[in-house]
Structure 1
Amino acid sequence: MGVQLIGIGTAVPEFALSQTQVRDLFLAQPDVAPLTARIIRAAYDGSAIDRRHTVIDDLAGGDGIFIDAEHGAVRSPGTAARNERYAREAPRLSETAARRALRSAGVEPSEITHVVTASCTGFYAPGPEYRLVRDLALDPTVEREHIGFMGCAAAIPALRSAWRICTADPTATVLVACAEVCSIHIRSSPDPDQIVASAVFADGAAAAVVTAREARFDGGEGAGPSPDRPSWALELTGFTTALTTDGEQDMAWIIGDHGFEMTLTGNVPRIVGREVQAALAPVLERVGTVDQWVVHPGGRSILDRFEQAMQLDEGALQRSRRILRDYGNMSSATVLFILADLLRDPTAAHDERVLVTAFGPGLAVETATARVVPRRSADAAVASRERQAPGAGS
């Protein structure tokens, strides 16, 4: 059956903030110059984001290390304090998403043979891949790897690792998990790049189960499509990577004394618009027509430029725009949220070709291709095995 992504689970923190709430918080900061206020309004009001989730309860109301409630001011805690919040909250989100992915895939924790994690918003060791093995009570011999600091594009290299593992070992079942808590690096700044970053990034986690083994989803009551049991699976068919000719200074992510400092300049959408056609040309030559576009929503302008450059019909990026609207940019987890939406869509069709692409620091363009395949019930899987058994049909 090839290597398939057979289930996805997602998770977000309990605190949800409207975009206007966050905008007004930054507009109310002391000594905001008129020019800075105009940039804040433009960034937030033009973001095409309605709400985002955060692990920072201070932002939802109250006093803490991030917000001075008495004065309504955004504090600037040090990197250690921010990273401590990451080490506490990211594993919780990752575990929740992973358990939902296993349930969606109809896979028991004992069946997982490999774990691949990705994150760029914090550090701790033993790392995220270790924590998942421990928190899910997986077999301690499960092989682990972690992909760090590859930014928004990291889910695709993580899926590529899973695909290669399953191609080399058809008995493998790989759990892929991406968890990001971007909001812990929030700061008040007159720098336009920092304002844009504060306007788009959010917190969330997503996990996927990848395997080449015979899928055997539970039959009977409750086996139809639902948030836990989506309509479709994806057969992964290939991966590519490319670097644009510039952009190294336009999308960057460095460690500062007061958190990680994200650079996301206004040149990024222009670079995407100028270079994405050439970057994706080898992929399109291989797959031909694309039926489903899954494009990482780094921001509204990036989606607009991508749509124009690829000459896509209006609505081709509706899934990406919907996830951006409802969740913001959750860095590496975001494309898995979009894929989860696709797998739940009863209007998708068998054999539709899917192109997944995301942009990371550098500027790097990471791409995966897949085709939509139906999920099979336990009875169908058994029948398939019986047909393939020696002497079947004689």
Structure 2
Amino acid sequence: MTSPPTTPNGVQIHHTRRLPDFLQSVNLKYVKLGYHYLITHLVTLTLIPLMALIIVQASQMNPQDIHTLWLHLKYNLVTVIICSTILVSGSTVFFMTRPRSIFLVDYSCYRPPSNLTVQFNQFMEHSRLTGDFDESSLEFQRKILQRSGLGEETYVPEAMHHVPPTPSMAAAREEAEQVMYGALDNLFANTQVKPKDIGILVVNCSLFNPTPSLSAMIVNKYKLRGNIRSYNLGGMGCSAGVIAIDLAKDLLQVHRNTYAVVVSTENITQNWYFGNKKSMLIPNCLFRVGGSAVLLSNKSSDKRKSKYRLVHVVRTHKGADDKAFKCVYQEQDDVGKTGVSLSKDLMAIAGGALKTNITTLGPLVLPISEQLLFFSTLITKKLFNSKVKPYIPDFKLAFEHFCIHAGGRAVIDELEKNLQLMPVHVEASRMTLHRFGNTSSSSIWYELAYIEAKGRMRKGNRVWQIAFGSGFKCNSAVWQALRHVKPSPKTPWGDCIDKYPVQILA
């Protein structure tokens, strides 16, 4: 037997048997890229020879032919006028009725003060000292924390730092004020937009809906104008941030030359669960303090100073199905303590909602090459072979960045697997979950802030924000960067971005 070849330094070289497989995968990758390029530019590649033919034919025309064409147009003046009128009228109607572009001028994410930080051992010690949890519940919470993907620097409200906790309406209002006003103060400072210029206000908070409403609290605080269109969305779960953006978008199509502010948050103070039902203890371990404020504009003059343009919003609601409706459900346990119960079917239901959502979104964003592959596989499966696996479109060809709602580690894992994403595509979601926890509907904005803080957002990049929420809903928003986006002042990642990404233990 001959020994393996060696380098000049005497190190043996071992050839792997998997090298042909690797080369085959590389070849397939370039074949797919070539196919994608060919199909995407098929119209252009077809028109080039046609235009060349027309130019050649035109160059061969003699002056007499050109003079004859001019006389034909001159003596058919009525036809020319009618065609011109139709063309001008059609263009006018098109430009008057087309949807106006919606620009994201800037946004701000609330960064709680450091005294609200809660470490795992502190969380467990406070849970033990309250006396409301038995040993089984305490051990369950400890295991959830260890597997959650959360880090040691997330935040809980002031009332939860007391022993025993002191939840009250006043404390809940104080939490809401700190989060909403903190995000809005920073937003107005960064954009130099005056509160009186805001024409539309949309606030979403699922579990805390006081009277007067959260939107009324903002109107009162910033003395917004009396004819403002204000809306308060409640009970719509973690995907309500995208719903609020969709509502603001529709309102901006009607009310011209104005600004809209969307505030997304969740309130923890009055929604902490103090019972021993396992399915209702999970939110205690995942949800943390956070909120965002987004400034939208329909003014064409704001395009130059805006960060993004809204491209699509796609909403999916599975509430007609009883299992989907009850998979995230606020209720009382056997001893009358209120909490939010998470069903064991949650991930399966979320997968079904995602499938429906991307079926609608796919044709809007995917290149024609991916759509052809998807439909050809679908037809083959239906007509010839039912065992053929459905083709999963490559959404990496449609988006450069992904902001997946940081609802929990399992949610991010499932989407990474189902959408065939790479670790870098879910990095923003994992790091947001680690640093800030599940901040509900605002989590997708902390993720976008992470991408900007890393300097990865380039002009023309497309971002897919996707969120899940009670009901059950799956909602998507697609944005396109209008420039190389830099992080705004007082970004929540300002003093810690250099530490990320961090290694998250399995």
TM-score (norm 1): 0.80
* Contact 1:235 1:372 (C-alpha < 8 Å) held by counterparts: yes
1:41 is the counterpart of 2:119: no
Match of 1:241 among 315, 336, 343: 315
Secondary structure of 1:113 counterpart: strand
* Contact 1:82 1:259 (C-alpha < 8 Å) held by counterparts: no
2: distance between equivalents of 1:273 and 1:357? Answer: 12
- The one-letter code sitting in structure 2 at the alignment partner of 1:7 is D
2: distance between equivalents of 1:105 and 1:287? Answer: 30
Write the deviation string for residues 221-258 of structure 1: whole angstroms up to 9, x where unpaired.
xxxxxxxxxxx712111211113454222112347897
Secondary structure of 2:105 counterpart: strand
Counterpart in the other structure of 1:211: 297
2: distance between equivalents of 1:171 and 1:19? Answer: 48
Deviation at 1:30, TM superposition (A): 4.6
Work out the number of aligned pairs and report it.
348
Higher relative contact order (CA 8 A, sep 6+): 1
2: distance between equivalents of 1:54 and 1:279? Answer: 32
- The one-letter code sitting in structure 1 at the alignment partner of 2:340 is M
Counterpart in the other structure of 1:337: 446
2: distance between equivalents of 1:297 and 1:181? Answer: 17
Counterpart in the other structure of 1:273: 351
Write the deviation string for residues 168-191 of structure 1: whole angstroms up to 9, x where unpaired.
233020111123222432233332
1:191 is the counterpart of 2:252: no
Mind listing any 5+ residue stretches in structure 2 that lack a counterpart? 1-99, 367-397, 487-506
Counterpart in the other structure of 1:54: 156
Write the deviation string for residues 77-131 of structure 1: whole angstroms up to 9, x where unpaired.
xxxx533322232023211211212223332222211111111231222211111
Secondary structure of 1:188 counterpart: coil
2: distance between equivalents of 1:374 and 1:170? Answer: 24
2: distance between equivalents of 1:153 and 1:181? Answer: 15
* Contact 1:56 1:184 (C-alpha < 8 Å) held by counterparts: no
Match of 2:464 among 345, 348, 355: 355
Write the deviation string for residues 41-90 of structure 1: whole angstroms up to 9, x where unpaired.
2211000101321222452xx44553xxxxxxxxxxxxxx5333222320
Match of 2:474 among 365, 376, 381: 365
- The one-letter code sitting in structure 1 at the alignment partner of 2:255 is D
Q: How does 1:118-157 map to 2 (within 5 A)?
A: 118-157=204-243
Change (3 A) 1:33 1:339: same
Change (3 A) 1:151 1:108: same
2: distance between equivalents of 1:35 and 1:132? Answer: 42
Which has the larger displacement, 33-42 or 197-206?
A: 33-42
Mind listing any 5+ residue stretches in structure 1 that lack a counterpart? 67-80, 219-231, 378-394
TM-score (norm 2): 0.63
Identical aligned residues as a percent: 16
1:310 is the counterpart of 2:396: no
Write the deviation string for residues 358-380 of structure 1: whole angstroms up to 9, x where unpaired.
11112211111111112799xxx
Counterpart in the other structure of 1:168: 254
Secondary structure of 1:120 counterpart: coil
1: distance between equivalents of 2:447 and 2:353? Answer: 23
- The one-letter code sitting in structure 1 at the alignment partner of 2:267 is V
Counterpart in the other structure of 2:40: none
2: distance between equivalents of 1:274 and 1:111? Answer: 42
* Contact 1:236 1:370 (C-alpha < 8 Å) held by counterparts: yes
Counterpart in the other structure of 1:386: none
- The one-letter code sitting in structure 1 at the alignment partner of 2:124 is R
2: distance between equivalents of 1:344 and 1:168? Answer: 34
* Contact 1:294 1:355 (C-alpha < 8 Å) held by counterparts: yes
Which has a greater percent of strand? Answer: 1
Deviation at 1:137, TM superposition (A): 2.4
2: distance between equivalents of 1:260 and 1:339? Answer: 33
Structure ID, larger Rg: 2
